[in-house]
């Protein structure tokens, strides 16, 4: 329902949009309305940060994050029912005005009025637009580039003539804390539909982790992985996710991915249950303790054990049935003497000697532990 | 003459979409990607050269070419399966070395003879090169005192001792690969002396190391000194050739195999010789990604130039190139679009006349390799690793054809 009307000059049009004026107190008003996202560039621009010749600061917005814009655009173009529920935030200057609708709505609260927001359409360079995008520039850019005829969005606007005012609002809306990764990972198995690509790829490992953590009947790792709803677990969810991802891309779980259909999670889980039950059996003293008391429960332990699972599966695999707990136990015992999860010293392949609790959760240490165990497992078969 | 290509995990992703520039999100790196010998109908080389240093990553740093998971898989499955050597039309050979240039600044090589044999033997290599230590300098006039003083003689002794030990351990362990002994030197005479020693240890296969930085005439001088001392039927491998034009002359000098990354790397490292053809090389058409070029990104972030402007010029350049490949626009319009964008991201060099040559000759239309046929002008665009590596594969193809053709001319049998 956009209406444009010609003024006497014949050059300046205006956009008249149904809107609500909300009084938030102390003279501040917020205007909320809907507009086709394709029209946003006509009424608002982005004020990019830069310095002029006198090193005076102008603007505040960062450049578009092209990969992010492309992801939103793809979503708008390809999803069956795309939804952008968040409102764009625009700061208008005083050329924009609100006209209250005639007549009072009985029993309406006093802080909100219906009416029309009148936005002048200025033909000219971008910086003469009446509005600046304070929040939502990536979404606006995505709608601008998307191959769709229109995509109406919700807008929240305020009126100010001060750049400093826009700047502080920009900082306020953009300095919120990102969601904790652990919460996202715990939500992933039960999420559906459009997700950012990196998270879609993590859905499968997150689903396996959930079963490992909450299958009370079969999982040897029942409630041992720390997540927001299971804060008492000693194993960091990230360590377990990385172990699963390694095996899914390059190890024993890869063959069950089944890229043409649904992943065969049943087989994946059976193999994981068999393996971790064997780890529990071979290293009872290091099992289910905080990582300061047992390095088996810590990144280096979990990830290097994962590589061992892949190596043993490779050697034991006969193409028929899954490697059993007993088989895993037999092979884990061949390297058990070289492991020092809770006491003593590791002697690594590069000659370095490290106390058991000097092992850190760093790529370097993980690699050293992993290489040592792989070597101890493989070399007797070579020589 | 056999040509080995040194691998550093160079593959292309067949799911890559050149228009949207996106990969399949569920692609598994290396498994779903393709090596040159899988993309091209005939493998553009006789085998791969795999360095322990590349597989294991640099000593003391974690960032290698291989993820830890990939490395463990290579050790588990062995090289034939990991590199899918039997996947192409021609089964390939595989050679291993230590990658001595990566530890050239160490006092001693970081690997023991035994662990290197474990690597070759465990991965099922066809050939394994002994542990060596590079002598980086070349000075034919140096006296033996000088060579001692500068530490060159010591490096040669280390290399020879390791070669002897390597030979003995290989025999004792009954390995399945063919051992190569490495000769390192600083002059024609010192190389010849090292080769003689290696033959005394019982080597029938010799690799000449440390010649990457040498000029061709110095390499030829060394070969001339080495050739007279070679026993009959010796195989000689030249490690790391950078000047491929001289391969025929190396053959005359007694070299039976060599390895080189040059044809591949020049596709995206060289200032001029990016696109090989049998008769000459061409400059690739540079259209860097707006968010892939560090300099451009920084200028956009600082507000010096508008991002919208950059995207507009980038798209225009790509659009003109694609239209040109459909005969829908002319050379000058494309050159103009490339220059306009280049003023923004480069601002220094004007390559217009070189671009004009590339566009006028359209060398990809005359090439019969699978990649040129499939991708057309895209392969001549210098932009992002998917295009650049494909052009590198094309160069390998052209290079291999040339090596073959020269051999055929020399050797009418």
**Are A66 and B301 inside 8 Å of each other by CB?**
no
Taking CA–CA distances from B26, the nearest residue in chain A reads A201
Residue B132 annotated in active site: no
Give pLDDT, residue A383.
62
Residue numbers of A between 342 and 361 with CB closer than 8 Å to B:
349-350
Select the residue of A246, A259, A364 nearest B69 (Cβ to Cβ): A246
Distance in Å, alpha carbon of B9 to nearest chain A alpha carbon: 15
What confidence tens digit (pLDDT) does each residue in A211-241 have? Answer: 999 999 999 999 999 999 999 999 999 999 9
Kindly state the average pLDDT of the residues A38-59: 89
- Going by C-alpha positions, the residue among A331, A352, A356 that lies closest to residue A341 is A356
For chain B, say whether A108 makes contact (Cβ under 8 Å).
no
- The SS3 of residue B85 is coil
Full-model pTM: 0.89
Pairing of strands A97-100, A112-121: antiparallel
Rounded CA-CA distance A354/A365 in Å is 10
User: Residue A34's beta-bridge partner residues?
Assistant: A154
Residue B259 annotated in active site: yes
The dihedral over CA atoms of A10, A11, A17, A20, expressed in degrees to the nearest 10, equals: -110
**Are B301 and A67 inside 8 Å of each other by CB?**
no
- Going by C-alpha positions, the residue among A116, A133, A137 that lies closest to residue A34 is A116
Chain centroid to Cα B161, Å, comes to: 29
**Are A51 and B31 inside 8 Å of each other by CB?**
no
User: E strand or H helix at A368, and its extent?
Assistant: helix A363-382
For chain B, say whether A383 makes contact (Cβ under 8 Å).
yes
For chain A, say whether B67 makes contact (Cβ under 8 Å).
yes
Distance in Å, alpha carbon of A379 to nearest chain B alpha carbon: 8
Task: Look up residue B373 and give its two tokens.
Answer: 């046929």
Rounded CA-CA distance A379/A43 in Å is 70
**Are A63 and B300 inside 8 Å of each other by CB?**
yes
Rounded CA-CA distance A318/A227 in Å is 36
Environment class of residue A1 by beta-carbon count within 10 Å: exposed (0-12), middle (13-18) or buried (19+)?
exposed
Taking CA–CA distances from A373, the nearest residue in chain B reads B72
For chain A, say whether B157 makes contact (Cβ under 8 Å).
no
**Are A382 and B115 inside 8 Å of each other by CB?**
no
Distance in Å, alpha carbon of A250 to nearest chain B alpha carbon: 6
User: Residue A92's beta-bridge partner residues?
Assistant: A131, A159
**Are A249 and B28 inside 8 Å of each other by CB?**
yes
Would you say residue B243 has pLDDT above 60? yes
Kindly state the average pLDDT of the residues A265-291: 97
* % pLDDT > 70, chain B: 98
Give pLDDT, residue B359.
97
Q: pLDDT confidence of B347, banded at 50, 70, 90?
A: confident
Distance in Å, alpha carbon of A128 to nearest chain B alpha carbon: 17
Give pLDDT, residue A6.
44
Distance in Å, alpha carbon of B35 to nearest chain A alpha carbon: 17
For chain B, say whether A26 makes contact (Cβ under 8 Å).
no
Residues A321, A264 contacting (CB under 8 angstroms): no
User: What do you get for the CA distance between the two ends of chain A, in Å?
Assistant: 80
- Going by C-alpha positions, the residue among B223, B235, B159 that lies closest to residue B191 is B223
**Are B72 and A382 inside 8 Å of each other by CB?**
no
Select the residue of A59, A67, A370 nearest B68 (Cβ to Cβ): A370
**Are A254 and B31 inside 8 Å of each other by CB?**
yes
Residues B235, B199 contacting (CB under 8 angstroms): no
Distance in Å, alpha carbon of B106 to nearest chain A alpha carbon: 15
For chain A, say whether B201 makes contact (Cβ under 8 Å).
no
For chain A, say whether B72 makes contact (Cβ under 8 Å).
yes
For chain B, say whether A250 makes contact (Cβ under 8 Å).
yes
For chain B, say whether A331 makes contact (Cβ under 8 Å).
no
What confidence tens digit (pLDDT) does each residue in A146-189 have? Answer: 999 999 999 999 999 888 888 888 888 888 778 889 999 999 99
Rounded CA-CA distance B38/B392 in Å is 14
For chain A, say whether B172 makes contact (Cβ under 8 Å).
no
Q: Average model confidence (pLDDT) for chain B?
A: 93
Environment class of residue A158 by beta-carbon count within 10 Å: exposed (0-12), middle (13-18) or buried (19+)?
middle
**Residue B189: other Cβ atoms inside 10 A:** 15
Task: Look up residue A90 and give its two tokens.
Answer: 């625009």
Distance in Å, alpha carbon of A32 to nearest chain B alpha carbon: 28
Rounded CA-CA distance B249/B257 in Å is 12
**Are B69 and A307 inside 8 Å of each other by CB?**
yes
B/e letters for B253-272, b = 16+ CB within 10 Å, e = fewer, are bbbbbbbbbbbbbbbbeeee
Would you say residue B393 has pLDDT above 60? yes
Residues B102, B152 contacting (CB under 8 angstroms): no
**A·B CB contacts under 8 A:** 81
For chain B, say whether A196 makes contact (Cβ under 8 Å).
no
Give pLDDT, residue A1.
43
What confidence tens digit (pLDDT) does each residue in A113-150 have? Answer: 999 999 999 888 888 899 999 999 999 999 999 999 99
Kindly state the average pLDDT of the residues B183-189: 96
Which of B69, B109, B176 has the most A C-beta neighbours within 10 Å, making it the best mutation to test the interface with A? B69
Taking CA–CA distances from A245, the nearest residue in chain B reads B69
C-alpha radius of gyration, chain A, whole number: 30
User: Residue B236's beta-bridge partner residues?
Assistant: B206
For chain A, say whether B303 makes contact (Cβ under 8 Å).
yes
Residues B302, B296 contacting (CB under 8 angstroms): no
**Are A251 and B69 inside 8 Å of each other by CB?**
yes
- Which DSSP letter does residue A180 get? P
Select the residue of B31, B72, B173 nearest A311 (Cβ to Cβ): B72
A68-72, A96-100, A165-169, B87-91: range with lowest mean pLDDT:
B87-91
> In 3-state terms, chain B is what percent helix, strand and coil (to 5)?
50, 10, 40
Catalytic pick from B97, B126, B132, B325? B97
**Are A254 and B28 inside 8 Å of each other by CB?**
yes
For chain A, say whether B68 makes contact (Cβ under 8 Å).
yes
Rounded CA-CA distance B120/A303 in Å is 26
User: What do you get for the CA distance between the two ends of chain B, in Å?
Assistant: 14
For chain B, say whether A317 makes contact (Cβ under 8 Å).
no
Q: pLDDT confidence of B404, banded at 50, 70, 90?
A: confident
User: Residue B22's beta-bridge partner residues?
Assistant: B17
Q: pLDDT confidence of B318, banded at 50, 70, 90?
A: very high
Would you say residue A3 has pLDDT above 50? no
Q: Residue B16 region, left (φ>0) first, then alpha (ψ -120 to 50), else beta?
A: beta
- Going by C-alpha positions, the residue among A258, A282, A252 that lies closest to residue A270 is A252
For chain B, say whether A53 makes contact (Cβ under 8 Å).
no
- Going by C-alpha positions, the residue among B392, B76, B50, B263 that lies closest to residue A375 is B76
Distance in Å, alpha carbon of A63 to nearest chain B alpha carbon: 6
B/e letters for A72-84, b = 16+ CB within 10 Å, e = fewer, are bbbbbeeeeebeb
Taking CA–CA distances from A198, the nearest residue in chain B reads B25
Residues A238, A181 contacting (CB under 8 angstroms): yes
What confidence tens digit (pLDDT) does each residue in A42-51 have? Answer: 999 988 888 8
**Are A66 and B76 inside 8 Å of each other by CB?**
no
CB contacts, 8 Å: A349 with chain B: 115
Q: DSSP for B196-254, please give it.
A: HHHHHTT-SEEEE-S-TTS-HHHHHHHHHHHGGGPPTT-EEEE-----GGGHHHHHHTT
Q: pLDDT confidence of A107, banded at 50, 70, 90?
A: confident
The CA distances from residue A324 to A240, A243, A272, A309, B47, in Å, are 21, 19, 10, 11, 39
Would you say residue B245 has pLDDT above 90? no
Residue written as token pair 């532990």: A369
């Amino acid at each position: 329902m956009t209406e444009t009307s010609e003024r006497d000059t014949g050059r300046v049009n205006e956009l008249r949009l149904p809107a609500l004026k909300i009084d938030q107190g102390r003279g501040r008003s917020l205007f909320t309305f809907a507009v086709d996202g394709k029209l946003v560039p006509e009424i608002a621009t982005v004020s990019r940060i830069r310095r002029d010749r006198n090193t005076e600061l102008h603007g505040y917005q960062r450049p578009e994050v092209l990969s992010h814009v492309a992801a939103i655009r793809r979503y708008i173009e390809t999803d069956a029912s795309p939804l952008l529920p968040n409102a764009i935030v625009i700061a208008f200057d005083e050329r924009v005005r609100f006209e209250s609708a005639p007549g009072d709505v009985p029993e309406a609260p006093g802080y909100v009025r219906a009416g029309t927001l009148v936005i002048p359409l200025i033909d000219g360079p971008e910086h003469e637009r009446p509005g600046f995008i304070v929040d939502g520039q990536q979404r606006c850019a995505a709608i601008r580039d998307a191959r769709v005829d229109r995509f109406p969005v919700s807008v929240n606007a305020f009126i100010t003539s001060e750049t400093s005012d826009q700047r502080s609002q920009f900082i306020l809306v953009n300095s919120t804390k990102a969601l904790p990764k652990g919460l996202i990972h715990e939500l992933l198995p039960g999420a559906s539909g459009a997700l950012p690509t990196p998270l879609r790829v993590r859905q499968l490992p997150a689903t396996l982790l959930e079963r490992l953590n909450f299958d009370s009947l079969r999982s040897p790792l029942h409630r041992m992985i720390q997540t927001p709803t299971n804060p008492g677990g000693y194993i960091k969810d990230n360590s377990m996710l990385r172990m699963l991802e390694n095996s899914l891309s390059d190890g024993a779980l890869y063959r069950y991915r089944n890229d043409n259909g649904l992943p065969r999670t049943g087989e994946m889980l059976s193999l994981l249950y068999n393996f971790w039950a064997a780890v529990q059996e071979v290293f009872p003293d290091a099992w289910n303790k905080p990582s300061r008391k047992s390095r088996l429960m810590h990144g280096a332990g979990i990830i290097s054990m994962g590589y061992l699972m892949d190596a043993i599966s490779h050697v034991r695999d006969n193409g028929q049935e899954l490697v059993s707990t007993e088989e895993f136990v037999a092979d884990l015992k061949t390297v058990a003497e070289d492991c020092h999860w809770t006491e003593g010293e590791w002697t690594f392949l590069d000659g370095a000697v490290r106390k058991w609790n000097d092992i850190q959760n760093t790529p370097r240490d993980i690699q050293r532990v992993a290489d040592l165990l792989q070597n101890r497992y493989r070399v007797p078969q070579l020589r | 003459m056999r040509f080995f290509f040194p691998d550093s995990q160079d593959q292309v992703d067949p799911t890559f979409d050149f228009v949207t520039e996106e990969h399949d999100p569920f692609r598994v790196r290396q498994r779903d990607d393709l090596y040159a010998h899988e993309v091209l109908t005939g493998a553009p080389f006789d085998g791969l050269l795999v360095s322990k240093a590349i597989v294991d990553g640099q000593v003391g740093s974690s960032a290698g070419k291989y993820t830890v998971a990939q490395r463990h898989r290579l050790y588990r499955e062995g090289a034939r399966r990991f590199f899918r050597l039997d996947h192409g039309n021609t089964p390939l050979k595989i050679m291993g070395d230590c990658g001595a240039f990566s530890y050239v600044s160490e006092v001693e090589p970081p690997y023991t003879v035994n662990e290197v044999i474990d690597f070759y033997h465990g991965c099922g290599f066809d050939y394994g090169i002994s542990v060596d230590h590079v002598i980086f300098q070349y000075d034919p006039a140096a006296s033996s005192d000088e060579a001692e003083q500068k530490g060159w003689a010591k490096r040669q002794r280390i290399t020879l001792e390791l070669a002897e030990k390597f030979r003995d351990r290989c025999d004792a362990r009954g390995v399945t690969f063919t051992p190569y002994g490495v000769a390192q030197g600083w002059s024609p005479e010192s190389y010849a002396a090292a080769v003689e020693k290696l033959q005394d240890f019982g080597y029938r296969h010799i690799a000449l190391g440390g010649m990457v930085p040498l000029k061709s005439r110095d390499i030829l001088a060394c070969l001339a000194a080495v050739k007279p001392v070679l026993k009959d039927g010796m195989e000689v491998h030249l490690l790391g050739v950078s000047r491929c034009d001289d391969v025929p002359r190396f053959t005359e000098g007694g070299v039976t195999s060599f390895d080189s990354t040059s044809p591949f790397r020049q596709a995206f490292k060289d200032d001029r010789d990016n696109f090989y053809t049998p008769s000459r090389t061409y400059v690739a058409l540079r259209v860097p990604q707006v968010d892939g070029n560090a300099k451009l990104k920084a200028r956009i972030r600082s507000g010096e130039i508008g991002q919208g402007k950059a995207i507009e010029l980038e798209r225009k350049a790509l659009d003109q190139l694609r239209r040109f490949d459909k005969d829908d626009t002319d050379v000058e319009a494309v050159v103009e679009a490339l220059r306009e964008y280049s003023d923004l991201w480069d601002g220094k060099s004007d390559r217009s006349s070189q671009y004009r040559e590339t566009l006028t000759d359209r060398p990809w239309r005359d090439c019969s390799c699978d990649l040129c046929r499939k991708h057309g002008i895209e392969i001549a665009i210098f932009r992002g690793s998917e295009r650049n590596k494909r052009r590198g594969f094309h160069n390998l193809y052209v290079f291999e054809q040339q090596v073959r053709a020269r051999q055929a001319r020399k050797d009418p049998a």
